[in-house]
Amino acid sequence: MQETGRWDLSPLYESMDDPKIEEDFAKLTKIVEGSRSFFEKEADAAELIKDGVKLAEELSELVHRLAAYFSLLMNADTSISKTVAYLNRIQGIMAGFQPFEVGLKRLIAKQDIDELVKVEELQHYNFMLRESKDEAAYLMDAELEELIAHLDIYGVGAWENLFDQLTSTVSADFDGEKKTMTELRNLAYDPDQKVRHQAYEAELSLYPKVEKSLSGALNSIKGQVLYLTDRRGHASPLDESLFRNRTSRKTLDAMIEAIIEKKDVFVRYYKAKARYFGQESLHWADMFAPIGKMPSGYTVEDSREMLVKSFEKLHPPIAEVMDKAYENNWIDFYPRENKVGGAFCSNLAIIKQSRVLSNFDGSFSAITTLAHELGHAYHGSRIEDHAPLNRSYSMPVAETASTFNERHFVLEQVEASDDPQVKLGLLDSLLMSSSQTSCDILSRFLFEQEVFARVENEYLRSEDLQKIMHEAQLKAYGDGLDEDSLHPYMWACKGHYYSASRSFYNYPYAFGDLFSVALYDKAQKEGSAFMEKYDEMLTATTVSSAEETGALVGLDLTDKKTWISSMESFEPLVAEFEKLIP
């Protein structure tokens, strides 16, 4: 491990001055330019598709290498302004590839896939070819798709940039200092209740300064999504999202109904936490308040030892990937100036590695975050041997391995602790997270549903959006939260609402959490035999629907009982939490 605690990007490129970068841009440009005349050559359909897939594979490898490098570089140091220019350059070049992608999918759609997969070079692309055939039904003319791709850079992309600009620069006076929206929202985790409540009030004071601009942006983005969804033939933006996420409406309905039916388990959690603060229902500003005692003072080496030891007992292959990540400098550990906050994992199948960004501060939650992100890395290791066009998993299964890891690590620590205050703190951290992926995600889903239902026929003012959000939060949180303290501007601080390509970005997180709960319950009952199925399931996530993925581990995701069972798994944890509240 490097002494600086920074990741090593040299397997991608040595530096921004690496001549291979311009060589790869030249290759990328050549491929895209050549793709324009690809379908003019004389060849039978199977041969064209075989050659087209080969071309798409080559382009995929180049794009992933270039985009990953500049994206990782930018997140590690936002002061390197050239990274944005390089990423825009990639996007601009790739817009020219739209006609080829449309043409290839339409050619595939005309074929008998059973016959096509008899071609040796295409056998491993059975799922991709069938999916491409389905996608072709929702594509407009190639020239229109290319035009939209270019216009998005300056259209909805500009609205998205406006959101980023406004929410990152607006500030309020707080305790004699100027605090940005992000800084104020981060104070929701402060141990001092007075600070939390003052920060919440200061945060709410920011939105009137930007609400008209943000409501305008939101109306424009959702309006475009509705128009293009209809032009492409999807019944609704939600149906388009489900199609992209390889998930059926039956599965989504089963999960949403289960969350609504069983949300009282989290209402109990919120009321217990409210009792801790002398409240009847929990105030919004206290939702993320730390309670109990959380261990701290850990070093990076401590985190390595704890994680490897924990997962060796559960499933040695997971521990091996974790150890490799530390040993081979896959992780950028420490916060510093110009480094983005938060954490993420980027799978790099092109080099059979991953890269993890964290902001390690020695806290227990920092180690939990590493467990989560290294779950993504393990998922990446399970799919890295797939062919280039078989490496993309959908959003609903994207959080499976990460949340599975997090649940295991926290519950193991709860079981091992003899200190009631530590148990309380650990349980609170787990229930806080899962209540968000059930209740908060439900509120976001309900909000977005209502916005799409209304925005086509009316302009939704800030006041309208606030009311929609309030009603969604009431339905999602019940009387667990104090109604007078609900956050009316949650639509104005969540970037995913302002993306034309990520409608209904929310429900996959609830899916990932509850699916991982079901998987972990099975792992506890069935042991190592189940973990072999778990590996097979992760490997299949890129070439299966959500329902097929669940079936591999014996779970019927279209059955509400599956999701009910996951929600019920929280009941003993909430009961223990209630007992620990003084």
User: Looking at residue 71, what is its pLDDT?
Assistant: 95
Same domain assignment for residues 164 and 254? yes
Same domain assignment for residues 165 and 280? yes
- C-alpha distance from residue 499 to each of 375, 469, 473, 490, 572 (Å): 26, 18, 22, 15, 38
* Helices within 2-44 (DSSP H only): 19-35
Q: Judge whether 560 lies within some domain.
A: no
Same domain assignment for residues 246 and 168? yes
User: Looking at residue 3, what is its pLDDT?
Assistant: 45
Q: Judge whether 281 lies within some domain.
A: yes
Same domain assignment for residues 287 and 435? yes
Q: Judge whether 406 lies within some domain.
A: no
Across the range 457-485, mean pLDDT stands at: 97
Q: Judge whether 413 lies within some domain.
A: no
User: Looking at residue 146, what is its pLDDT?
Assistant: 82
Beta carbons of 574 and 537 less than 8 angstroms apart:
no
User: Looking at residue 418, what is its pLDDT?
Assistant: 93
pLDDT at 143 over 90: no
Q: What is the DSSP letter of 481?
A: B
Confidence of residue 141 (pLDDT cuts 50, 70, 90): confident
Same domain assignment for residues 26 and 145? yes
User: Looking at residue 453, what is its pLDDT?
Assistant: 96
Same domain assignment for residues 357 and 441? no
Number of domains in the chain: 3
User: Looking at residue 500, what is its pLDDT?
Assistant: 85
Nearest Cα residue to 539 out of 378, 408, 406: 378
Same domain assignment for residues 339 and 451? no
pLDDT averaged over every residue in the chain:
94
> Domain with 198 in it: what CATH number?
1.10.1370.20
User: Looking at residue 161, what is its pLDDT?
Assistant: 81
What is the residue type of 282? L
Cα–Cα distance, 176 to 174 (Å, whole number): 5
Beta carbons of 244 and 549 less than 8 angstroms apart:
no
Same domain assignment for residues 174 and 62? no
User: Looking at residue 507, what is its pLDDT?
Assistant: 95
Backbone angles phi, psi at 468, to 5 degrees: -60, -45
Q: Judge whether 497 lies within some domain.
A: yes
pLDDT at 37 over 60: yes
Helix (H/G/I), strand (E/B), else coil: 236 = coil
Q: Judge whether 461 lies within some domain.
A: yes
Cα–chain-centroid distance for residue 140? Answer: 28
Q: Which two tokens stand for residue 101?
A: 């992608």
pTM of the model: 0.91
Q: Judge whether 56 lies within some domain.
A: yes
**Torsion angle of the four alpha carbons 294, 295, 301, 303, in this order, in degrees rounded to the nearest 10:** -40
Q: Judge whether 66 lies within some domain.
A: yes
Same domain assignment for residues 103 and 137? yes
Other C-beta atoms within 10 Å of 318: how many? 27
Nearest Cα residue to 576 out of 430, 423, 432, 433: 423
Domain end (from 154, 187, 206): 154
